[in-house]
A = this chain, B = another copy of it.
Amino acid sequence: MLLLLLLHKLRPSFTILSSSSYYSSSLSFLSSCSSYSDKKVSMATIDESSLRKALSDKQSALEAQGNAVRQLKSSSAATKPEIEAAIEALNALKLDKSSIERQLHALISNGEGAVNKEAFRQAVVNTLERRLFYIPSFKIYRGVAGLYDYGPPGCSVKSNVLAFWRQHFVLEENMLEVDCPCVTPEVVLKASGHVEKFTDLMVKDEKTGTCYRADHLLKDFCNEKLQKDLAISSEKAAYIKHLLATLDDLSAEELGAKIKEFGIVAPDTKNPLSDPYPFNLMFQTSIGPSGSSTGYMRPETAQGIFVNFRDLYYYNGSKLPFAAAQIGQAFRNEISPRQGLLRVREFTLAEIEHFVDPEDKSHPKYSEVADLEFLMFPRQEQVSGQSAKRVRLGDAVSKGIVNNETLGYFIGRVYLFLTRLGIGEERLRFRQHLANEMAHYAADCWDAEIESSYGWIECVGIADRSAYDLRAHSEKSGVQLVAQEKFSEPKEVEKLVIAPVKKELGVAFKGSQKNVVEALEAMKEKDALDMKATLESKGEVEFEVCTLGKTVTIKKNMVNIKKEKKKEHQRVFTPSVIEPSFGIGRIIYCLFEHAFYTRPSKAGDEQLNVFRFPPLVAPIKCTVFPLVQNQKYEEVAKFISKSLTAAGISHRIDITG
């Protein structure tokens, strides 16, 4: 900004307006957005449950009173005042019931909140599209669901965010940046597990063939039931809420059973639905002309880094820890994209893979972030129904809430990245994955969630994936993806040695000898020690050779198993991976919502929609315009504009006076 101030002083007849705001006129709408509730982890509240109970009680009382009135009316003994009093009581009960219904309705639909949020989002999205921040892709052909273009100002914001990401992570942390292709051969994604497991469960309209996400249908049904059907019992409501909370854990069979149980049909046609079955979310293609080489558009950029581990480790002087980073497109063939700009079929990811010794997950720069304090939402607080609290990062790590220093370091760095971009710290929290959300191999996982009109949105995932990915690729490729720690002096270690006696095995198993030898050598330590004990006590043991598909009898003279002391000069191990993964489009969308507000125009006759961006992300940094219209000043304005361009500062020039 130095240059701007300088120019300002030199040229008093010019104003250089800092114009990180975008103006746009539109209709008035409610912009209140401070009361967004947390959808993802909302728990059954006592209020709702007691209201449902009260409603149900009131309904019974109402029915009883109705019967009483009918009895009185048909009875010859009843006096007119008696009947009138009973009717009055009935009406009072009806009023009470309506009141409870209103309360309940307000509670479960967040009162005006939901309407306001929807209106706010519409205003943001309309302004974004009108001002060409986003354009639905291929709009003149009626578009494709889940694909969006960045128009000129959106593109500028995106490149500002990416430039800052490079500065904040790659440059400051000396990361090794790589740039791998999107087209990926099948073998890589088989190793990573994506071919088998990167799926969503789908159901088809049995008559039209239209596809739906099975969990979405069930979720919609449950939400609608809870919000519109006020008559359901509090037990039933609790049951449905529990179902909503555990939706992600349901198997295809369980989901199918629930869909049948509730009688859910195709929303558009009311036709019956097929059973749920997995649909792989990767865009599939074929590499080369033969049609025999299947490929996919990568679902994440991480795999490109893992397969290069060996070269990158060597490039880093065979030293740990180090981090590699990649920015690039990723693809996800969603069954039916929803949530507009948040759930799309193609998006930009920025991913870091930090490789670290599993026995030493300290971080040299940890102390630089340990004193940061921000909203954290550990597993424990989520299951006990509490909300996120401000915690000092260093305390979360020292108490073991965050698994290790390196994971903590990256949580801190992500916090700094997002808040410097302009995300308000009260609308940013770090939520720990629940046990059922995490992959079995993951040591710990935290999401940076940003509050938006859609609720709390996962924008960055920070996971300690242990050694899973490198091991998977080692196994599939046969190339060892490991690191070495050289000992300053050799260490004595005890090692198990399995020595098959080939001569005896040859006599016993003839052509199958090789399979038996290999199976013996491949035994795990525990199994080998068990075998040793059995051989010593009984002289023989039954042993399954899976490559032969049968069990053979091993005698004492066929194998020697013993522990030996050896000197080792180095330790060879598979590094752990700590992976911060950034959904750039989601971060940008949240930035847009946070930057948006409305204010009345000067004339007061309309509402203006404004994006107030921090300078770091603002698409236009300033506008140059002469305060007086004059040929001489125009020349100067153009000169200033040229100087700003040369300095790489995006701006507008306005010489209309």
Residues in A lying within 8 Å of B, measured CB to CB = 132, 135, 137-141, 144-145, 147-152, 154-156, 158-159, 166-167, 171-172, 176-185, 187-188, 202, 209-211, 279, 283-290, 295, 297, 304, 307-308, 310-312, 315, 329, 331, 333-336, 345-346, 473, 476-477, 479, 481, 645, 648, 650
CB distance from A266 to the nearest CB of B (A): 14
Check B187 against A158 for contact (C-beta < 8 Å): no
Distance in angstroms between the alpha carbons of A202 and B288 in the assembled complex:
11
CB distance from A368 to the nearest CB of B (A): 12
A311-B185 contact in complex given A140-B477, A179-B158, C-beta closer than 8 Å: no
Q: Nearest 10 pairs between A and B by C-beta?
A: A150-B179, A140-B477, A140-B479, A181-B346, A152-B176, A211-B289, A155-B177, A149-B180, A283-B285, A147-B181
CB distance from A290 to the nearest CB of B (A): 6
Check B183 against A147 for contact (C-beta < 8 Å): yes
CB distance from A626 to the nearest CB of B (A): 19
In the complex formed, the residue of B with least CB distance to A290 is B211
Check A648 against B154 for contact (C-beta < 8 Å): no
CB distance from A625 to the nearest CB of B (A): 16
Distance in angstroms between the alpha carbons of A331 and B148 in the assembled complex:
19
Check B156 against A177 for contact (C-beta < 8 Å): yes
In the complex formed, the residue of B with least CB distance to A200 is B289
Check A307 against B140 for contact (C-beta < 8 Å): yes
What B residues does A650 contact at CB under 8 A? 171
What B residues does A156 contact at CB under 8 A? 177
Interchain Cβ contacts under 8 Å between A and B, 24 examples: A132-B311, A137-B180, A138-B185, A140-B479, A141-B187, A141-B307, A144-B185, A145-B288, A150-B179, A151-B312, A152-B177, A154-B179, A156-B177, A167-B648, A171-B648, A182-B297, A183-B346, A211-B289, A211-B290, A279-B289, A287-B345, A288-B333, A289-B333, A289-B335
What B residues does A180 contact at CB under 8 A? 137, 149-150
What B residues does A167 contact at CB under 8 A? 648
Distance in angstroms between the alpha carbons of A488 and B145 in the assembled complex:
43
What B residues does A290 contact at CB under 8 A? 209-211
A473-B140 contact in complex given A149-B180, A283-B286, A315-B152, C-beta closer than 8 Å: yes
Distance in angstroms between the alpha carbons of A172 and B176 in the assembled complex:
31
